[in-house]
Amino acid sequence: MDTLTLIGATGTPLPPVFHARHLIAGRFCDSADGAVLERVSPAHGTVVSRAAKGATAEVDAAVSAARAAFAGWAATSGKARAAILLRVADLIEANVERMTLLECLETGKPITQARGEVSGSADLWRYAAALARTQKGDSHNTLGPDMLGVVLKEPRGVVSVITPWNFPIWILSQKLPFALAAGCTCVVKPSELTPSTTAMLGELLGEAGLPAGVVNIVLGLGQPVGARMVSHPEVDMVTFTGSSAVGRAIAAEAGKSLKKVALELGGKNPQVIFPDADLESAADAVTFGIYFNAGECCNSGSRIIVHADIAEAFVARVVALSRKVAFGDPLHPDTQVGAIVTPEHRSKIDAHVRAAEQAGARVVLGGAPLQVQGLSGQFYAPTVVTGVTADMAIAREEVFGPVLSVLTFRTLDEAIELANDAAYGLSAGVWSENVHTCLAFGQRVRAGTVWTNTWMDGFPEVTFGGMKQSGLGREIGSYGLEEFLEVKSLVMRVGRTRAPWVKAI
């Protein structure tokens, strides 16, 4: 490990423990039974936040508050909704440093990355504000001289919003402002591992003038809080980001009452590198794609499919770049990869690597837990695994860590077959200077997002979501707003022109 780039403990003093509370009907409160959950920083091994631990009583109260607030919020003009969303965006930017520090400490991600996510999330709120003023339906005036058809788009109602630990404020901002722009009211549950920035956002919503009850926040575990948010009869829709296993369980439970479900789930995302690609740029993007957020990212470029003629040289380039990526204390501004979220998850990552070795793959870099000087938290080394075949678990299962699997191909058809040979279909990438190659790949690969000669560029305007077991529905962009809208047709007769159906005898 001595050839890796490691950044030891900075010795930066940690802030006081943050106390996160529920937000129900406009009031912040602790749990009725006083229960709390403590979050230990995965990098520093010390308690950084203490959150109220909710139960079904808190969920029921939050749903009741959201239901009571729905009619008023749904009737609010798009202009008024947009004004509040814009104020939220301004307040996020005014509180970037406060939110960034807790995001860094709870997730283990580098502080520079956390800062970019918190500040960048404001743009999602601003884009959703624009959509609040531009949503519209359709009209049909060609149905006959005495008929007019109007298609309306109305808010779905009360939405349960359940978010994960890997991008707490960013993923919440891919959902919540769009639901609010549509006129829905919400109950939000962040991961119990990363509750603080969601609770902080709750403070900002009130400061921005959002009416009480429009957004409610319940902290706690998936059982019972998340489960009750899915099964509650007064909830009209559930939007969830997390594992495919949990997503399937949510879909099954929601199906009992035919709730609308939007799911953004896992990925095993391929990048295909052709011999004519800009290999320097491709290698840098592959390195970024696997180590960004320590690989704890549904869009992680966790498998590359490289043409056999260039595979050895390309992998050597990626390994060399991997050694230069700075792993270590998330509080250091130069750190690029921080800590793994929990000890249990680090063990799971390592188990995937050990299983790959037993299946015949070769670990050419890393493949072990990492010790960082002065820190007691959990880290994992940058890892590259070669000799991977399509039947191996490491080529098919989501590792969710800094582990890159390398497969090879000979023809375009073989590359596309390998890219599609997974249960997931979230994102994919292709690297080639030949536009025909890129277009053919983009059209034939089964993925919700296809990047060409780049990786993980995202914009609020461009919708996001997966195929197959990567999920249902779409987020952000205008399609992200549509998820929270119900379509209603009004068919109107102009004047009393309808011929009687019942004939006089």
Summarize pLDDT for 381-417 with one digit per residue, the tens. 999 999 999 999 999 999 999 999 999 999 999 999 9
Distance separating alpha carbons of residues 131 and 481, to the nearest angstrom: 8
- Contacts with 305 (C-beta within 8 Å, 6 or more apart), sequence order: 270, 271, 272, 273, 407, 408, 409, 415, 418, 419
Helix axes 78-94, 196-207, angle to 10 degrees: 130
Mean pLDDT over each residue of the chain, to the nearest integer: 97
Q: Around 490, how many Cα atoms within 13 Å sit in the side-chain half-sphere?
A: 12
pLDDT for 444 beyond 90: yes
Crossing angle of helices 78-94/96-107, nearest 10°? Answer: 70
CATH assignment of 14-265+470-489, given 3.30.360.10, 3.40.605.10, 1.10.600.10, 3.40.50.150? 3.40.605.10
Average of pLDDT values for 33-42? 97
Q: Which of 184, 186, 298, 438 is catalytic?
A: 298
Average pLDDT over residues 469-480: 97
Are the folds of 14-265+470-489 and 270-452 the same? no
Q: Per-residue confidence at 2, pLDDT binned at 50, 70, 90? A: low
HSE-CB for 317 with a 13 A CA cutoff: 15
For the cut 70, the answer to whether the pLDDT of residue 203 exceeds it is yes
pLDDT of residue 34: 96
| Structure tokens given for 359 | 């299946």
Would you tell me which CATH number, out of the four given (3.40.50.620, 2.170.120.12, 3.40.309.10, 3.20.20.140), belongs to the domain 270-452?
3.40.309.10
Catalytic member of 264, 296, 398, 483 = 264
Backbone phi, psi, residue 8, to 5°: -75, -175
Position 16 confidence tier, pLDDT thresholds 50, 70, 90: very high
On the question of pLDDT at 23 being above 80, the answer is yes
Could you tell me which residues come within 8 angstroms of residue 297 by beta carbon, excluding any fewer than 6 positions away? 166, 167, 400
Q: Is 298 a catalytic residue?
A: yes
What is the distance, to the nearest Å, from the Cα of residue 57 to the centroid of all Cα atoms in its chain? 28
Q: Are 441 and 416 in contact (CB under 8 A)?
A: yes
Report pLDDT digits (tens) over 246-289: 999 999 999 999 999 999 999 999 999 999 999 999 999 999 99
Please name the residues in contact with 316: beta carbons below 8 A apart, sequence gap of 6 or more. none
Banded pLDDT at 505 (limits 50, 70, 90): confident
Percent of the chain with pLDDT over 70: 100
pLDDT tops 90 at residue 80:
yes
- The pLDDT assigned to 504 comes to 82
Domain boundaries, the chain: 14-265+470-489, 270-452
Beta-carbon neighbour count of residue 280 at 10 Å? 10
Does the global pTM surpass 0.95?
A: yes
Alpha-carbon span 72 to 80, nearest angstrom: 12
Q: Kindly report the CA angle at 363 between 358 and 366, in degrees rounded to 5?
A: 125
pLDDT tens for each residue of 122-144 = 999 999 999 999 999 999 999 99
Q: Report the C-alpha gap between 357 and 362 in whole angstroms.
A: 6
